[in-house]
Structure 1
Amino acid sequence: MVSSDLATLGGLALSAFLAATLLPGGSEAVFAGVVVLRPELSLAALVTATTANTAGGMSTYLLGRLVPRKELTPRLAIVKRWGSLALVLSWVPLIGDALCAAAGVLRLNWFACLAWMALGKGLRYAALAWALS
C-alpha cells in the first residue's frame, strides 16, 4: 500500500469517526468517493469505515456512561427493552447517536454494544459498496 492509499483511508477514517460522534456530518459520501474512484481499495475502505465509525459510536457510548444515572425516561426505557441489540440501528441518522448515548447511560454491556454496533455499521457500508459496484 502506498502513502496515497494510506492518506485516502486516513481521511475516510477521520470522516467515519467524526460522523459517528455527536458532531454533525456523514461519512457515506467520502466512503462512496473512495469506492468509486479507487475500487481496488473497496475492502480496505469497508474495514476502515466500519472500524472508525464504530469507534466514534463507542466514544458516544462512553460519554453516556459518564452521565449520572437517574430514573428512566420513556426514551431510555425503549433502549432498555431491546438492550444492546438496538445498536444495530446506530448507523441511522438522527437516532444513532442517541442510541449509543442511551446504551452508555444504561450501562449496557460494552462488548455486546460494540458487536451490534459494528454489525449494523458494517452492513450499511457493505450495502453502499454493493450498490455502487
Structure 2
Amino acid sequence: MQEDFLGLAGLFFSAFISSTIAPGGSEAVLALMVSEHQDQVVLLVGIATIGNTLGALTTWFLGYLAAKKYPIESLLETKKQKAIMWVRKWGQWSLLFSWLPVIGDGFCFAGGWLKLSLYSSIVFIFVGKLVRYAAISWMFAGN
C-alpha cells in the first residue's frame, strides 16, 4: 500500500518537475508504471496529467508575474521572442502544445506574460497534456 502511494507520488512529482523550467522524464516514468500496472492506466494518466498541468501553470504564473515588472522588449531580443509571437498569433490554442519539449514551457510562460485567461489556459494545457499521456499509455499498455 505504501509502495503504491510512493510510486504515484513519484509519478506526480516527475510530471510536475518535467513541466516547469527544470528538465525531467515523466514520459519514461509513466511508460514504466503503465507496463507494470495495466489495470491502473486511467489513474496513472490522471496523476501524470494533473502533475504536469500544475507544473505548466507554475510556469504560466511566472510569466504573469514577470510581465508586471518587465516589458517583453526589455528582456528578449526580437529573434528570441518566438514563443511570445506564436502565442500572440494563436492565443489559447498554442497551449495545446505545452507538452512539447523546450518550447512548451515557453508557450506557458508566454501565456502568462500575455495574460491569457487563466481558466482557458488551464483547459487548453490540461487537454494537450492529457492527449500526450494517453498516447504514451496506449503505446505501453500492451493493447
CA shift at 1:28, angstroms?
Answer: 0.3
Where do residues 19-58 of structure 1 align in structure 2 (5 Å cutoff)? Answer: 19-58=18-57
Count, aligned residues: 132
In structure 2, the residue matched to 1:88 is 96
AA aligned to 2:18 is: A
4+ runs of 1 displaced by more than 4 Å?
A: 71-74
User: Which consecutive unaligned segments of at least 5 residues does structure 2 have?
Assistant: none
Distance 1:132 1:79, change over 3 A: same
Identical pairs, percent: 37
Q: Please, what TM-score do these two structures have when normalized by structure 2?
A: 0.87
For the aligned residues, what is the CA RMSD? 1.3
Q: What SS class does the counterpart of residue 82 from structure 1 fall into?
A: helix
Task: Measure the CA separation in 1 of the matches of 2:138 and 2:33.
Answer: 13
Task: Measure the CA separation in 2 of the matches of 1:90 and 1:77.
Answer: 15
User: Which consecutive unaligned segments of at least 5 residues does structure 1 have?
Assistant: none
Q: Please, what TM-score do these two structures have when normalized by structure 1?
A: 0.93
CA shift at 1:19, angstroms?
Answer: 0.2
AA aligned to 1:108 is: L
Tell which structure's C-alpha radius of gyration is larger. 2
AA aligned to 2:26 is: S
Where do residues 1-133 of structure 1 align in structure 2 (5 Å cutoff)? Answer: 2-68=1-67, 69-70=70-71, 74-75=81-82, 76-133=84-141
1:71-104 per-residue CA deviation (whole Å, 9 max, x = no partner) reads 5655212211111110000001111100000001
